[in-house]
Structure 1
């Protein structure tokens, strides 16, 4: 019997136990939005949809809407596209970057056989401490890269990177550790590419099904009329699954990169957008629909530091040979350490936070505004630098946080929910029976419709053929299209 947590509107948290014939509420609590305010002994997905879907539809039409995607999306899509015996390398990589459903302590513990013995125990001990302070439980590969970077910098200060005459044991250990970091990052980027490859090479019918759900998932958020502010998509993932889905959906993504052959990261944040001129109409251009702003908070496997710029290379989706794409003019000095995954492993930047400081500034600016809604999907609240911004956002009374997660490994989400304290501003949809990608798209997420003709037709049908007053209809809230009541 699986356990799910639901909290919408002004209700308190309700635990739903699932079985073959539906859901039952634990501890005798009720869902106020069900018929007559009473909860039957068994509740099906359609009944839950009558409350969840209209609530999400109204939130998605907030003045400012942002979507934060974690590793849960990569795992969910891989689960749809492949069988339960999915590629081990891809699955292991998802686990290492925080797969939300992992309960195997042997798999989630960091395994770094290439690490030099001289510093191995010190590094692993420090990595463990960082994970505990961040309340993540198990360390992830970002913790490891961060510790090795700090150790290399400290050894440089001590002069271990310099060589005069015969190489000393300290210099040899420094060189070995530097090579270790290169290999760790290279193996990790290849593992991320395997995630993409496992989806791209799946059986045709399964692949089409997976990308179909991904497209509908993205368009449920991005289907905002041109008069609304653009959707902001943020992700901590390094793969290009969102980019692939947006390409299939015809969704235009605006990020900080400019150019065509080798786009370059720009620090200037101009308010670039996409407009069109309606035929036969004079006046100001109109906003083009199907446009979103996109930010990869932790970098990407196709971002590289060329020494003077951050560039995006033309790495095909699911490529199994990343090194060959670094063998190009202008990238002669680029190795795996220059791949821009958080935290930056390159030492020759003015600040180790570049370009991430720019990206997090965009994140804070998008969230901390009145009438703003943030939806998190597959994010386990293990990054305190992100959690701080979310906490600041909720200090504005008109903001709202929607947490959608396959499960709550380690209880981090509920702990964060209690810690934030602003329960009226938070919605929870947690559990494998509620937050699974297929269930979300089929039942709970608003349908991606901004068709004005359909809205007008539904309004006419309601006026002409409905005998039930709108305010008394139990289906009133679910009868919405594009955020407009019908």
Structure 2
């Protein structure tokens, strides 16, 4: 077994993995005599992790890729049920056929176990096959099954949002406190990565999630979102990438403008539970956070209406619209020199996304920071294909926990000018204080 394979095997066998620069460690946090020893060890690692992340977050181009792991972590902290990516049932006539093909396709793509997205993709392909073959009876029956699956799937997404809001507004003090703490963790997490100095390029957050927990955190944190949707009542998806930004005029200058702080670019590359298709265009529906269900227009089905990957509507001229545009945004954002991509809660099971990340890493000045609660074959399989020198790893129950990450390891917001100024003052006065201590020692000796 070569050195790399020994490393990968160690990653799979250990609970935690930390790689900063060229040093790889497998810390153990569960054999302490007391809380004091645990905090001491966390402080030692914080002194290494926090400055490293602070430097990485100030690179020229910064992007984030957030997966379902974030929603699961927040819902777990709030003690509410998260949305499910579990396998669906397509009826006795189609389930075996769909599951067999989805399983084989997932293995060929290196995804491991297939999930509901693989099933929906397969079911839609099978439906198109029936339509091409003019098998109207089978097409109608399968179409009804797909609508049931999409209905249940969207309801599970909305149920997670509803449960969270119910807990947040609950009269039960304990339940409400848990939800408020979870919201605090979510806001702190997003703020740490999004509040770069305004003169830097905006952080671009990409997510495969269909829910709207990230949008909720941005609203509560006062973070302004720039995406491809424009409008207030019926925001419409724009084909051209957005170049509009937020500025403000300085009071002491006539024609001088400055970038507003707390602004991010945001792309949901797999669509969203509130994206709908209408008249060959994509709109963002006015669906409140915590709604019971998606309201369908008259004579519309979920296949016709709901825009979640891979549910590409027949009525939209381009088969992969709008996902193709969103993936191009992802590629153009990260495949640049001096670019850093941070992933959290992403399981490296999407081949189309992994391909773009590998393309990014073909540029030597790019860097990938992987923060993950678990270490599995998908992650290790991805690491086997790339240059580890360009990777930072914070993996396992200690570093990947949203609570530990926010409370112990993430840097404070980059726009925290008070801390920055205080640090500069301490450094500037260090020489003076050292001289004062030496003078005091000389006087005592005399």
In the superposition, the TM-score normalised over structure 1's length comes to 0.81
Please list every run of 5 or more consecutive structure 1 residues that lacks an aligned counterpart in the other structure: 24-39, 97-109, 162-170, 470-486
Aligned residue for 2:378?
A: 412
Superposition deviation, residue 244 in structure 1 = 0.2
Cα distance in 2, alignment partners of residues 14 and 239 from structure 1: 35
2:107 to 115, 118, 132: 132
Give the aligned partner of residue 199 of structure 1: 164
Structure 1 18/467 Cα, relative in aligned 2: closer, same or farther at 3 Å?
A: farther
Equivalent of residue 390 in structure 1, options 357, 373, 376:
357
From 171, 194, 197, give the equivalent of 1:225: 197
Partner of 1:214: 186
Superimposed CA distance per residue, residues 416-464 of structure 1 (whole angstroms, 9 cap, x where no aligned partner): 11211x1111011110111100111111111114143442232122211
Q: Which residue of 2 aligns with 1:274?
A: 246
When the two chains are superposed, the root-mean-square deviation of aligned CA atoms in Å is 2.1
Q: In the TM superposition, what is the alpha-carbon distance from 1:135 to its structure 2 partner?
A: 2.1
User: Structure 1's 21 and 398: CA in aligned 2 closer, same or farther, altered over 3 A?
Assistant: same
Shift of 1:467: 6.8
- Asked if 1:15 corresponds to 2:15, the answer is no
SS in 1 for 2:84: helix
| Paired residue total | 412
- Is residue 21–residue 42 contact of structure 1 (8 Å, CA) maintained in 2? no
Asked if structure 2 preserves the Cα contact closer than 8 Å seen for 1:66 and 1:374, the reply is yes
DSSP 3-state at the match of 1:201? helix
How far, CA to CA, are the matches of 2:185 and 2:423 in structure 1?
26
Give the C-alpha shift of residue 278 in structure 1. 1.1
SS of 1:117's partner is coil
User: How many Å apart are 1:160 and its aligned residue?
Assistant: 1.4
- Counterpart mapping for 1:124-163 below 5 A: 124-161=99-136
Match of 1:175 in 2: 140
Look up the SS of the partner of 2:379 in the other structure.
helix
Is residue 369 of structure 1 aligned with residue 336 of structure 2? Answer: yes
* Separation in 2, partners of 1:42, 1:5: 18
- After TM superposition, the structure 1 = structure 2 runs for residues 314-393 of structure 1, keeping only pairs within 5 Å, are 314-322=286-294, 325-326=295-296, 331-337=297-303, 338-393=305-360
**1:61 and 2:58 matched:** yes
* Structure with more of its chain in helix, by fraction: 2
Provide closer, same or farther for how the CA distance between residues 41 and 343 of structure 1 changes in structure 2, counting only shifts above 3 A.
Answer: closer
Residues in 2 aligned to 1:342 and 1:80: alpha-carbon distance in whole angstroms: 27
CA distance in 1, matches of 2:226, 2:242: 11
Instruction: Output one character per residue of 1:230-279: Cα deviation in whole Å (capped at 9) or x when no partner.
Output: 00000000000000000000000100001111111110123111100011
SS of equivalent to 2:114 = coil
Corresponding residue of 1:423: 388
CA distance in 1, matches of 2:17, 2:422: 37
Q: Which segment drifts farther, 187-196 or 126-135?
A: 126-135
Q: Give 1:95 shift.
A: 4.4
2:88–2:116: 8 Å Cα contact kept in structure 1? no
- Could you say what secondary structure the match of 1:44 adopts? helix
Counterparts in 2 of 1:61 and 1:354: CA distance versus 1, 3 Å: same
Q: CA offset at residue 321 of structure 1?
A: 2.5
Normalised to the residue count of structure 2, the TM-score between the two structures is 0.88
Q: Structure 2: any 5+ residue segments left out of the alignment?
A: 1-12, 168-174, 435-446
